[in-house]
Amino acid sequence: MASKLLGRTVCPLCDCDSAHVKIKTDKGEGKEAFPYLHCRECDTQLHTRKQSQAAHLLRKTRPEKTDPPVPAVVPAAAPAPADDPEPMPPPAAQKPSLLAGWLP
């Protein structure tokens, strides 16, 4: 029995807060699948039989909490080249060393 998880709700029998709301995915052609509730705490399955019951169950269903979305890695933008870079100033003239005449 293949099924898809639609969300979670409170179990009406044991008040568990995380009962699964599922729907069958392997129904035959032309057959309508209705959502059902499956509680793992009390091992209960409650099936809906009509569209009105299914709508009531889906109104009480909250979306499944999943892992937070992973932010997309955006490469850092390279700095734009300057149109006319400022020329670097010439190096300052160095004072002659005191030992300039003494060393070969």
- Cβ–Cβ < 8 Å for 13, 30: no
pLDDT of residue 52: 92
Taking residue 8's Cβ as centre, other Cβ atoms within 10 Å add up to: 19
Residues 6+ apart with CB under 8 A from 55: none
What CATH number is attached to the domain comprising 47?
Answer: 2.20.25
Q: Is residue 97 scored above 60 in pLDDT?
A: yes
Question: Which tokens in the block code for residue 90?
Answer: 């010439």
Whether 44 is covered by a domain: the verdict is yes
Q: Is residue 18 scored above 70 in pLDDT?
A: yes
Whether 79 is covered by a domain: the verdict is no
Distance between CA atoms of 35 and 47, rounded to whole angstroms? Answer: 7
> How many structural domains does the chain have?
1
Structural domain range at position 29: 3-60
Whether 47 is covered by a domain: the verdict is yes
Q: Is residue 104 scored above 60 in pLDDT?
A: no
**pLDDT tens profile 21-62:** 998 888 777 788 899 999 999 999 999 999 999 999 999 998
Whether 78 is covered by a domain: the verdict is no
